[in-house]
Structure 1
Protein backbone atom coordinates (compact mmCIF):
# COMPACT_ATOMS: atom_id res chain seq x y z
CA UNK A 1 0.00 0.00 0.00
CA UNK A 2 1.38 3.41 -0.97
CA UNK A 3 1.83 6.09 1.62
CA UNK A 4 -0.72 8.89 1.24
CA UNK A 5 -0.19 12.15 3.11
CA UNK A 6 -1.35 15.77 2.88
CA UNK A 7 1.39 16.64 0.36
CA UNK A 8 0.56 13.77 -1.98
CA UNK A 9 -3.13 14.60 -1.84
CA UNK A 10 -2.56 18.08 -3.25
CA UNK A 11 0.01 17.14 -5.88
CA UNK A 12 -0.46 14.99 -8.98
CA UNK A 13 -3.84 13.57 -7.95
CA UNK A 14 -7.45 14.09 -8.94
CA UNK A 15 -8.53 14.36 -5.31
CA UNK A 16 -9.35 17.53 -3.40
CA UNK A 17 -7.96 18.20 0.04
CA UNK A 18 -9.98 17.16 3.07
CA UNK A 19 -10.66 20.79 4.02
CA UNK A 20 -11.99 21.61 0.55
CA UNK A 21 -14.09 18.46 0.56
CA UNK A 22 -15.74 19.51 3.81
CA UNK A 23 -16.23 23.06 2.59
CA UNK A 24 -18.13 21.90 -0.50
CA UNK A 25 -20.06 18.99 0.95
CA UNK A 26 -23.82 18.90 0.53
CA UNK A 27 -25.86 17.68 3.46
CA UNK A 28 -29.18 16.58 2.03
CA UNK A 29 -31.01 15.87 5.27
CA UNK A 30 -30.91 15.81 9.04
CA UNK A 31 -31.71 12.60 10.85
CA UNK A 32 -32.20 11.68 14.50
CA UNK A 33 -30.96 8.34 15.78
CA UNK A 34 -32.56 6.27 18.56
CA UNK A 35 -29.26 6.61 20.43
CA UNK A 36 -26.52 9.15 21.04
CA UNK A 37 -22.77 8.82 20.57
CA UNK A 38 -20.45 11.02 22.59
CA UNK A 39 -16.97 11.08 24.08
CA UNK A 40 -16.90 9.57 27.55
CA UNK A 41 -16.21 12.27 30.14
CA UNK A 42 -17.11 10.67 33.48
CA UNK A 43 -16.50 7.53 35.50
CA UNK A 44 -20.15 6.53 35.17
CA UNK A 45 -19.99 6.72 31.37
CA UNK A 46 -16.76 4.74 31.30
CA UNK A 47 -18.38 2.07 33.47
CA UNK A 48 -21.14 1.78 30.85
CA UNK A 49 -18.54 1.37 28.12
CA UNK A 50 -16.89 -1.46 30.04
CA UNK A 51 -20.26 -3.21 30.48
CA UNK A 52 -20.88 -3.29 26.73
CA UNK A 53 -17.25 -4.27 26.04
CA UNK A 54 -17.47 -7.26 28.32
CA UNK A 55 -20.78 -8.39 26.84
CA UNK A 56 -19.48 -8.10 23.26
CA UNK A 57 -16.08 -9.72 23.87
CA UNK A 58 -17.76 -12.42 25.92
CA UNK A 59 -19.40 -13.74 22.76
CA UNK A 60 -16.07 -14.79 21.20
CA UNK A 61 -13.41 -14.43 23.95
CA UNK A 62 -15.23 -15.29 27.20
CA UNK A 63 -12.11 -15.82 29.33
CA UNK A 64 -10.59 -12.56 28.11
CA UNK A 65 -13.89 -10.73 28.67
CA UNK A 66 -14.11 -11.87 32.29
CA UNK A 67 -10.87 -10.04 33.05
CA UNK A 68 -11.85 -6.84 31.27
CA UNK A 69 -12.25 -3.68 33.30
CA UNK A 70 -11.33 -0.04 33.04
CA UNK A 71 -7.91 0.16 31.41
CA UNK A 72 -5.11 2.68 31.76
CA UNK A 73 -5.39 3.31 28.01
CA UNK A 74 -8.92 4.65 28.47
CA UNK A 75 -7.56 7.83 30.06
CA UNK A 76 -4.28 8.06 28.14
CA UNK A 77 -3.37 11.32 26.38
CA UNK A 78 -4.47 11.35 22.77
CA UNK A 79 -7.21 8.80 23.44
CA UNK A 80 -11.00 9.02 23.61
CA UNK A 81 -13.65 6.43 24.44
CA UNK A 82 -16.87 6.72 22.45
CA UNK A 83 -20.13 5.57 24.02
CA UNK A 84 -23.48 4.93 22.33
CA UNK A 85 -26.44 5.22 24.68
CA UNK A 86 -30.15 4.68 24.15
CA UNK A 87 -32.13 7.93 23.96
CA UNK A 88 -35.02 6.08 25.60
CA UNK A 89 -33.41 4.93 28.84
CA UNK A 90 -29.69 5.81 28.64
CA UNK A 91 -28.61 2.19 28.47
CA UNK A 92 -25.27 1.42 26.77
CA UNK A 93 -25.56 0.11 23.21
CA UNK A 94 -22.02 0.34 21.91
CA UNK A 95 -18.51 1.63 22.47
CA UNK A 96 -15.21 2.18 20.70
CA UNK A 97 -11.84 3.46 21.89
CA UNK A 98 -9.89 5.71 19.53
CA UNK A 99 -6.18 6.15 20.20
CA UNK A 100 -3.91 8.47 18.25
CA UNK A 101 -0.14 8.29 17.98
CA UNK A 102 0.29 11.90 19.14
CA UNK A 103 1.80 10.83 22.46
CA UNK A 104 3.03 7.28 21.96
CA UNK A 105 2.72 3.93 20.24
CA UNK A 106 -0.65 2.51 19.25
CA UNK A 107 -2.10 -0.67 20.77
CA UNK A 108 -1.38 -2.59 17.56
CA UNK A 109 2.32 -1.84 18.02
CA UNK A 110 2.39 -4.23 20.99
CA UNK A 111 2.27 -6.96 18.34
CA UNK A 112 3.75 -5.62 15.09
CA UNK A 113 6.17 -3.03 13.80
CA UNK A 114 4.34 -0.58 11.56
CA UNK A 115 5.89 0.12 8.15
CA UNK A 116 7.73 3.38 7.62
CA UNK A 117 4.98 4.92 5.50
CA UNK A 118 2.68 4.76 8.53
CA UNK A 119 5.29 5.78 11.10
CA UNK A 120 5.63 9.09 9.28
CA UNK A 121 1.91 9.88 9.44
CA UNK A 122 -0.72 10.93 11.96
CA UNK A 123 -2.55 7.74 12.93
CA UNK A 124 -5.64 6.76 14.88
CA UNK A 125 -6.50 3.19 15.83
CA UNK A 126 -9.97 1.98 16.79
CA UNK A 127 -9.98 -0.69 19.50
CA UNK A 128 -12.34 -2.18 22.07
CA UNK A 129 -15.31 -2.05 19.70
CA UNK A 130 -18.42 -3.62 21.14
CA UNK A 131 -22.12 -3.31 20.31
CA UNK A 132 -25.41 -4.78 21.50
CA UNK A 133 -26.92 -7.76 19.74
CA UNK A 134 -29.50 -7.52 17.00
CA UNK A 135 -30.54 -4.86 14.50
CA UNK A 136 -29.86 -1.96 16.84
CA UNK A 137 -26.31 -3.22 17.36
CA UNK A 138 -25.69 -3.30 13.61
CA UNK A 139 -26.90 0.29 13.31
CA UNK A 140 -24.81 1.39 16.28
CA UNK A 141 -21.71 -0.18 14.73
CA UNK A 142 -22.11 1.80 11.52
CA UNK A 143 -22.72 4.98 13.52
CA UNK A 144 -19.60 4.34 15.63
CA UNK A 145 -17.62 3.94 12.41
CA UNK A 146 -18.95 7.32 11.29
CA UNK A 147 -17.96 8.79 14.65
CA UNK A 148 -14.46 7.31 14.23
CA UNK A 149 -14.19 8.92 10.81
CA UNK A 150 -15.49 12.29 12.05
CA UNK A 151 -13.04 12.29 14.95
CA UNK A 152 -10.15 11.55 12.59
CA UNK A 153 -11.24 14.22 10.13
CA UNK A 154 -11.63 16.86 12.83
CA UNK A 155 -8.23 16.04 14.28
CA UNK A 156 -6.40 15.95 10.93
CA UNK A 157 -5.50 12.27 11.14
CA UNK A 158 -3.88 10.82 8.00
CA UNK A 159 -4.73 7.14 8.43
CA UNK A 160 -7.43 5.18 10.24
CA UNK A 161 -6.21 1.80 11.55
CA UNK A 162 -8.13 -1.23 12.75
CA UNK A 163 -7.35 -4.85 13.56
CA UNK A 164 -10.07 -7.29 12.53
CA UNK A 165 -10.62 -10.97 13.23
CA UNK A 166 -12.33 -13.33 10.81
CA UNK A 167 -15.06 -13.05 9.60
CA UNK A 168 -15.48 -9.41 10.71
CA UNK A 169 -12.49 -8.43 8.57
CA UNK A 170 -14.74 -8.71 5.52
CA UNK A 171 -16.91 -5.89 6.87
CA UNK A 172 -13.90 -3.56 7.00
CA UNK A 173 -12.74 -4.75 3.61
CA UNK A 174 -16.17 -3.73 2.31
CA UNK A 175 -15.57 -0.28 3.84
CA UNK A 176 -12.39 -0.13 1.70
CA UNK A 177 -9.84 -0.67 4.43
CA UNK A 178 -6.72 -2.27 2.96
CA UNK A 179 -4.18 -4.69 4.39
CA UNK A 180 -1.08 -3.10 5.94
CA UNK A 181 0.85 -6.33 5.51
CA UNK A 182 0.23 -9.27 3.18
CA UNK A 183 -3.15 -9.77 1.52
CA UNK A 184 -5.51 -11.47 3.99
CA UNK A 185 -2.59 -11.93 6.41
CA UNK A 186 -3.65 -12.61 10.01
CA UNK A 187 -1.28 -11.85 12.86
CA UNK A 188 -1.70 -12.55 16.60
CA UNK A 189 -2.68 -9.41 18.52
CA UNK A 190 -1.53 -9.08 22.13
CA UNK A 191 -4.20 -6.52 23.05
CA UNK A 192 -7.02 -8.90 22.07
CA UNK A 193 -5.91 -12.07 23.78
CA UNK A 194 -3.52 -13.20 21.06
CA UNK A 195 -6.33 -13.83 18.58
CA UNK A 196 -5.17 -13.54 14.92
CA UNK A 197 -6.32 -10.32 13.26
CA UNK A 198 -5.74 -8.54 9.97
CA UNK A 199 -4.12 -5.12 10.36
CA UNK A 200 -5.95 -2.74 8.02
CA UNK A 201 -5.74 0.97 7.19
CA UNK A 202 -7.65 3.63 5.27
CA UNK A 203 -6.57 7.18 4.28
CA UNK A 204 -8.95 9.65 5.95
CA UNK A 205 -8.75 12.29 3.23
CA UNK A 206 -9.85 9.90 0.49
CA UNK A 207 -12.80 8.16 2.15
CA UNK A 208 -15.55 10.19 0.54
CA UNK A 209 -13.97 10.24 -2.92
CA UNK A 210 -13.26 6.50 -2.93
CA UNK A 211 -16.70 5.60 -1.61
CA UNK A 212 -18.40 7.86 -4.14
CA UNK A 213 -16.45 6.28 -7.01
CA UNK A 214 -17.35 2.82 -5.70
CA UNK A 215 -21.01 3.80 -5.17
CA UNK A 216 -20.66 2.66 -1.57
CA UNK A 217 -23.98 2.23 0.27
CA UNK A 218 -22.74 4.24 3.28
CA UNK A 219 -22.09 7.47 1.35
CA UNK A 220 -25.50 8.88 2.22
CA UNK A 221 -25.27 7.98 5.91
CA UNK A 222 -21.74 9.32 6.33
CA UNK A 223 -21.66 12.37 4.09
CA UNK A 224 -25.14 13.43 3.05
CA UNK A 225 -26.88 13.15 6.41
CA UNK A 226 -26.32 15.31 9.47
CA UNK A 227 -26.63 13.30 12.68
CA UNK A 228 -26.91 15.65 15.64
CA UNK A 229 -26.84 12.62 17.93
CA UNK A 230 -23.20 11.91 17.00
CA UNK A 231 -20.92 14.33 18.83
CA UNK A 232 -17.18 13.62 18.91
CA UNK A 233 -16.15 17.04 20.21
CA UNK A 234 -13.82 17.22 23.20
CA UNK A 235 -12.18 20.02 25.13
CA UNK A 236 -8.74 20.31 23.60
CA UNK A 237 -5.71 22.51 23.05
CA UNK A 238 -4.12 22.90 19.63
CA UNK A 239 -0.51 23.23 18.63
CA UNK A 240 0.85 25.89 16.26
CA UNK A 241 -0.34 23.88 13.24
CA UNK A 242 -3.88 23.65 14.57
CA UNK A 243 -3.59 19.99 15.54
CA UNK A 244 -5.17 18.74 18.74
CA UNK A 245 -2.53 18.02 21.37
CA UNK A 246 -4.91 17.12 24.20
CA UNK A 247 -7.80 15.00 23.01
CA UNK A 248 -8.71 12.68 25.85
CA UNK A 249 -12.24 12.86 27.20
CA UNK A 250 -11.18 11.75 30.68
CA UNK A 251 -9.05 13.99 32.84
CA UNK A 252 -8.04 11.53 35.53
CA UNK A 253 -6.50 8.08 35.42
CA UNK A 254 -8.91 5.23 36.21
CA UNK A 255 -8.68 3.43 39.51
CA UNK A 256 -9.16 -0.08 38.13
CA UNK A 257 -6.73 -1.24 35.46
CA UNK A 258 -6.91 -4.33 33.29
CA UNK A 259 -3.87 -5.18 31.21
CA UNK A 260 -4.48 -5.55 27.49
Structure 2
Protein backbone atom coordinates (compact mmCIF):
# COMPACT_ATOMS: atom_id res chain seq x y z
CA UNK A 1 0.00 0.00 0.00
CA UNK A 2 1.32 3.44 -0.96
CA UNK A 3 0.60 4.91 2.47
CA UNK A 4 2.36 2.20 4.48
CA UNK A 5 5.74 3.96 4.61
CA UNK A 6 4.77 7.62 4.33
CA UNK A 7 1.61 7.63 6.46
CA UNK A 8 1.56 4.52 8.65
CA UNK A 9 -1.32 5.75 10.83
CA UNK A 10 -3.54 6.16 7.77
CA UNK A 11 -2.41 2.80 6.41
CA UNK A 12 -3.50 1.12 9.64
CA UNK A 13 -6.90 2.83 9.45
CA UNK A 14 -7.39 1.65 5.87
CA UNK A 15 -6.93 -1.93 7.01
CA UNK A 16 -10.30 -1.88 8.77
CA UNK A 17 -13.77 -2.00 7.26
CA UNK A 18 -15.70 1.29 7.42
CA UNK A 19 -19.40 1.97 7.75
CA UNK A 20 -19.50 3.57 4.29
CA UNK A 21 -18.33 0.29 2.74
CA UNK A 22 -21.80 -1.16 3.35
CA UNK A 23 -23.80 2.03 2.88
CA UNK A 24 -26.53 1.61 0.22
CA UNK A 25 -25.20 4.70 -1.57
CA UNK A 26 -21.69 3.22 -1.80
CA UNK A 27 -20.11 0.81 -4.22
CA UNK A 28 -16.55 -0.48 -4.30
CA UNK A 29 -14.82 -0.94 -7.65
CA UNK A 30 -12.38 -3.83 -7.76
CA UNK A 31 -9.87 -4.40 -10.56
CA UNK A 32 -8.58 -7.93 -10.98
CA UNK A 33 -5.65 -9.39 -12.89
CA UNK A 34 -6.82 -11.30 -15.96
CA UNK A 35 -4.01 -13.80 -15.52
CA UNK A 36 -4.32 -14.59 -11.82
CA UNK A 37 -7.67 -13.02 -10.83
CA UNK A 38 -5.81 -11.40 -7.94
CA UNK A 39 -7.02 -7.93 -6.89
CA UNK A 40 -4.80 -5.19 -8.33
CA UNK A 41 -6.77 -2.04 -7.54
CA UNK A 42 -9.80 -0.67 -5.78
CA UNK A 43 -11.70 2.52 -5.04
CA UNK A 44 -14.94 3.39 -3.28
CA UNK A 45 -17.72 5.63 -4.60
CA UNK A 46 -20.21 7.15 -2.17
CA UNK A 47 -22.94 9.32 -3.69
CA UNK A 48 -25.32 11.81 -2.11
CA UNK A 49 -28.38 10.27 -3.76
CA UNK A 50 -30.01 9.61 -0.38
CA UNK A 51 -27.92 11.66 2.00
CA UNK A 52 -24.91 13.98 2.25
CA UNK A 53 -21.35 12.86 1.65
CA UNK A 54 -18.64 13.42 4.23
CA UNK A 55 -17.55 16.53 2.33
CA UNK A 56 -21.03 18.02 2.66
CA UNK A 57 -21.31 17.10 6.33
CA UNK A 58 -17.90 18.35 7.40
CA UNK A 59 -17.19 21.30 5.10
CA UNK A 60 -18.96 24.44 3.87
CA UNK A 61 -18.68 23.78 0.15
CA UNK A 62 -18.89 26.65 -2.37
CA UNK A 63 -22.36 27.39 -3.72
CA UNK A 64 -21.74 25.77 -7.12
CA UNK A 65 -21.68 22.35 -5.44
CA UNK A 66 -24.65 22.82 -3.14
CA UNK A 67 -27.80 21.02 -4.24
CA UNK A 68 -25.90 19.10 -6.92
CA UNK A 69 -25.20 15.39 -7.18
CA UNK A 70 -21.77 14.45 -5.84
CA UNK A 71 -19.75 11.25 -5.85
CA UNK A 72 -17.23 11.14 -3.02
CA UNK A 73 -14.36 8.95 -4.19
CA UNK A 74 -11.99 7.49 -1.63
CA UNK A 75 -9.73 4.59 -0.75
CA UNK A 76 -8.00 4.45 -4.12
CA UNK A 77 -5.33 1.79 -3.99
CA UNK A 78 -3.43 0.04 -6.77
CA UNK A 79 -0.49 -2.32 -7.10
CA UNK A 80 2.93 -0.78 -7.42
CA UNK A 81 5.04 -0.63 -10.54
CA UNK A 82 4.24 0.23 -14.15
CA UNK A 83 1.02 -1.79 -14.19
CA UNK A 84 -0.38 0.38 -11.42
CA UNK A 85 -0.70 3.32 -13.81
CA UNK A 86 -2.93 1.35 -16.17
CA UNK A 87 -4.98 0.04 -13.26
CA UNK A 88 -5.61 3.59 -12.05
CA UNK A 89 -6.73 4.67 -15.51
CA UNK A 90 -9.07 1.67 -15.80
CA UNK A 91 -10.58 2.41 -12.40
CA UNK A 92 -11.05 6.06 -13.28
CA UNK A 93 -12.72 5.17 -16.57
CA UNK A 94 -15.10 2.87 -14.70
CA UNK A 95 -15.73 5.66 -12.18
CA UNK A 96 -16.35 8.24 -14.91
CA UNK A 97 -18.76 6.02 -16.83
CA UNK A 98 -20.55 4.98 -13.64
CA UNK A 99 -21.13 8.65 -12.77
CA UNK A 100 -22.41 9.33 -16.29
CA UNK A 101 -24.86 6.46 -15.96
CA UNK A 102 -26.06 7.63 -12.54
CA UNK A 103 -26.23 11.25 -13.77
CA UNK A 104 -23.75 12.48 -11.17
CA UNK A 105 -22.62 16.07 -11.72
CA UNK A 106 -19.43 16.19 -9.63
CA UNK A 107 -16.74 13.73 -8.60
CA UNK A 108 -14.97 14.93 -5.47
CA UNK A 109 -11.79 13.59 -3.88
CA UNK A 110 -9.07 14.47 -1.42
CA UNK A 111 -5.49 14.10 -2.55
CA UNK A 112 -2.56 14.01 -0.15
CA UNK A 113 0.46 15.50 -1.94
CA UNK A 114 2.12 14.26 -4.08
CA UNK A 115 -0.78 11.89 -4.92
CA UNK A 116 -2.97 14.87 -5.77
CA UNK A 117 -1.09 15.17 -9.08
CA UNK A 118 -2.82 12.02 -10.34
CA UNK A 119 -6.16 13.84 -10.14
CA UNK A 120 -4.86 17.16 -11.47
CA UNK A 121 -3.55 15.33 -14.54
CA UNK A 122 -7.14 14.24 -15.22
CA UNK A 123 -8.32 17.88 -14.94
CA UNK A 124 -9.60 17.84 -11.38
CA UNK A 125 -9.64 21.37 -9.95
CA UNK A 126 -9.48 22.80 -6.45
CA UNK A 127 -12.87 23.05 -4.77
CA UNK A 128 -11.85 26.20 -2.92
CA UNK A 129 -10.44 29.17 -4.81
CA UNK A 130 -7.63 29.57 -2.30
CA UNK A 131 -6.59 25.92 -2.77
CA UNK A 132 -6.68 25.39 0.98
CA UNK A 133 -5.88 22.04 2.53
CA UNK A 134 -8.67 20.34 4.48
CA UNK A 135 -8.74 17.81 7.30
CA UNK A 136 -11.44 15.17 7.56
CA UNK A 137 -12.25 12.31 9.92
CA UNK A 138 -11.80 9.75 7.13
CA UNK A 139 -8.16 10.78 6.69
CA UNK A 140 -7.63 10.92 10.47
CA UNK A 141 -6.86 14.61 10.33
CA UNK A 142 -4.08 14.48 7.72
CA UNK A 143 -4.25 17.67 5.58
CA UNK A 144 -5.27 17.00 2.00
CA UNK A 145 -6.19 18.93 -1.11
CA UNK A 146 -9.91 18.90 -1.96
CA UNK A 147 -10.47 18.47 -5.69
CA UNK A 148 -13.54 18.23 -7.93
CA UNK A 149 -14.25 17.03 -11.46
CA UNK A 150 -17.27 18.03 -13.54
CA UNK A 151 -18.60 14.84 -15.12
CA UNK A 152 -21.06 16.54 -17.47
CA UNK A 153 -18.45 18.72 -19.21
CA UNK A 154 -15.55 16.26 -19.14
CA UNK A 155 -15.85 14.89 -22.68
CA UNK A 156 -15.92 18.37 -24.21
CA UNK A 157 -13.03 19.62 -22.08
CA UNK A 158 -10.86 16.59 -22.86
CA UNK A 159 -11.68 16.77 -26.58
CA UNK A 160 -11.15 20.52 -27.01
CA UNK A 161 -7.98 20.43 -24.93
CA UNK A 162 -6.59 17.45 -26.87
CA UNK A 163 -6.08 15.68 -23.56
CA UNK A 164 -3.78 12.64 -23.81
CA UNK A 165 -6.35 10.43 -22.05
CA UNK A 166 -9.30 11.52 -24.20
CA UNK A 167 -9.19 8.58 -26.59
CA UNK A 168 -8.83 6.06 -23.76
CA UNK A 169 -11.63 7.56 -21.69
CA UNK A 170 -14.16 8.39 -24.39
CA UNK A 171 -13.48 6.48 -27.61
CA UNK A 172 -11.80 3.17 -26.91
CA UNK A 173 -14.01 0.19 -26.12
CA UNK A 174 -12.87 -1.98 -23.24
CA UNK A 175 -14.86 -5.17 -22.84
CA UNK A 176 -13.93 -5.41 -19.17
CA UNK A 177 -15.47 -2.02 -18.35
CA UNK A 178 -19.17 -2.32 -19.18
CA UNK A 179 -20.81 0.19 -16.90
CA UNK A 180 -23.78 1.09 -19.11
CA UNK A 181 -24.71 -2.57 -19.59
CA UNK A 182 -24.53 -3.09 -15.85
CA UNK A 183 -26.38 -0.10 -14.40
CA UNK A 184 -29.95 -1.27 -14.79
CA UNK A 185 -32.41 1.46 -15.71
CA UNK A 186 -30.05 4.32 -14.86
CA UNK A 187 -31.03 6.41 -17.87
CA UNK A 188 -34.72 5.65 -17.39
CA UNK A 189 -34.78 7.17 -13.90
CA UNK A 190 -34.64 10.92 -13.38
CA UNK A 191 -32.36 12.50 -10.79
CA UNK A 192 -33.76 12.33 -7.26
CA UNK A 193 -35.76 15.43 -6.46
CA UNK A 194 -34.10 17.54 -3.79
CA UNK A 195 -35.66 19.19 -0.79
CA UNK A 196 -33.73 21.87 1.09
CA UNK A 197 -30.57 20.89 -0.75
CA UNK A 198 -31.01 17.18 0.03
CA UNK A 199 -32.30 14.47 -2.32
CA UNK A 200 -35.44 12.64 -1.36
CA UNK A 201 -35.21 8.93 -0.66
CA UNK A 202 -36.13 6.35 -3.25
CA UNK A 203 -35.41 2.68 -3.65
CA UNK A 204 -32.24 1.97 -5.68
CA UNK A 205 -32.88 0.15 -8.98
CA UNK A 206 -29.24 -0.34 -9.94
CA UNK A 207 -27.34 -3.57 -10.34
CA UNK A 208 -23.59 -3.61 -10.84
CA UNK A 209 -21.90 -6.68 -12.28
CA UNK A 210 -18.74 -6.00 -14.30
CA UNK A 211 -15.18 -7.33 -14.45
CA UNK A 212 -14.02 -4.06 -12.88
CA UNK A 213 -16.37 -4.19 -9.90
Same fold by TM (over 0.5)?
yes
The TM-score normalised by the length of structure 1 is 0.68
Aligned residue number for residue 73 of structure 1: 20
Give the SS at the match of 2:97.
helix
Q: Number of residues paired by the alignment?
A: 196
Aligned residue number for residue 112 of structure 1: 59
Give runs of aligned pairs for residues 151-166 of structure 1, distance below 5 A: 151-166=98-113
Aligned counterpart for 1:220 among listed residues 162, 167, 175: 167
- Whole-Å separation in 2 of the counterparts to 1:195 and 1:99: 20
1:178 aligns with 2:130: no
Aligned residue number for residue 148 of structure 1: 95
Aligned residue number for residue 128 of structure 1: 75
Give the SS at the match of 2:153.
helix
When residues 238 and 77 of structure 1 are mapped into structure 2, their CA distance, relative to the original with a 3 A threshold, is farther
When residues 154 and 239 of structure 1 are mapped into structure 2, their CA distance, relative to the original with a 3 A threshold, is closer
- Whole-Å separation in 1 of the counterparts to 2:79 and 2:31: 10
Aligned residue number for residue 157 of structure 2: 210
Question: Is contact 1:239–1:245 with CA below 8 Å preserved after alignment?
Answer: no
Aligned counterpart for 2:190 among listed residues 233, 238, 241: 241
When residues 192 and 224 of structure 1 are mapped into structure 2, their CA distance, relative to the original with a 3 A threshold, is same
Question: Is contact 1:99–1:126 with CA below 8 Å preserved after alignment?
Answer: yes
Deviation track 1:102-122 (CA, whole Å, cap 9, x = no partner) reads 111213335422223212111
- Whole-Å separation in 2 of the counterparts to 1:184 and 1:171: 16
The TM-score normalised by the length of structure 2 is 0.82
**Structural RMSD (CA):** 2.4
Aligned residue number for residue 199 of structure 1: 146
When residues 231 and 111 of structure 1 are mapped into structure 2, their CA distance, relative to the original with a 3 A threshold, is same
When residues 236 and 213 of structure 1 are mapped into structure 2, their CA distance, relative to the original with a 3 A threshold, is closer
- Whole-Å separation in 2 of the counterparts to 1:83 and 1:61: 23
Question: Is contact 2:42–2:91 with CA below 8 Å preserved after alignment?
Answer: yes
- Greater RCO structure (CA 8 Å; 6+ sep): 1
Give runs of aligned pairs for residues 96-107 of structure 1, distance below 5 A: 96-107=43-54
